[in-house]
């Protein structure tokens, strides 16, 4: 943490993420639909793996009941 090209950008992102996670739970949306991971621009392979895993996870969950909202 703090090790961010945009100074405290990742700290802000983490704050935003945890707020969104709490809101999502209040609204009854599966928290598994959200994910936060730190990946540096030099870690292409890792990024691809995380994106693939998360996509699989979302596929397993299926379409959200909120598809029509917002």
> Applying CB under 8 A, which residues contact other proteins?
19, 22-23, 25-29, 65-66, 68-70
Quote the CA–CA distance of 2 and 64 in Å, as a whole number.
34
Residue with tokens 């969950």: 61
User: Which residue number, 25 or 46, has a Cβ lying nearer to other proteins?
Assistant: 25
**In degrees rounded to 5, what are phi and psi of residue 10?**
-75, -30
Give min distance, CB of 38 to other proteins, in A. 22
Residue with tokens 């540096």: 40
User: Which residue number, 45 or 62, has a Cβ lying nearer to other proteins?
Assistant: 62
Give min distance, CB of 32 to other proteins, in A. 15
């Amino acid at each position: 943490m703090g090790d961010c090209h945009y100074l405290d950008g990742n700290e802000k992102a983490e704050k935003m993420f945890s707020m969104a996670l709490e809101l999502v739970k209040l609204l009854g949306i599966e928290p598994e639909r959200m994910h936060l991971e730190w990946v540096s621009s030099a870690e292409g392979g890792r990024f691809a793996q995380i994106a693939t895993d998360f996509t699989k996870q979302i596929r397993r969950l299926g379409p959200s009941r909120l598809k029509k909202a917002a």
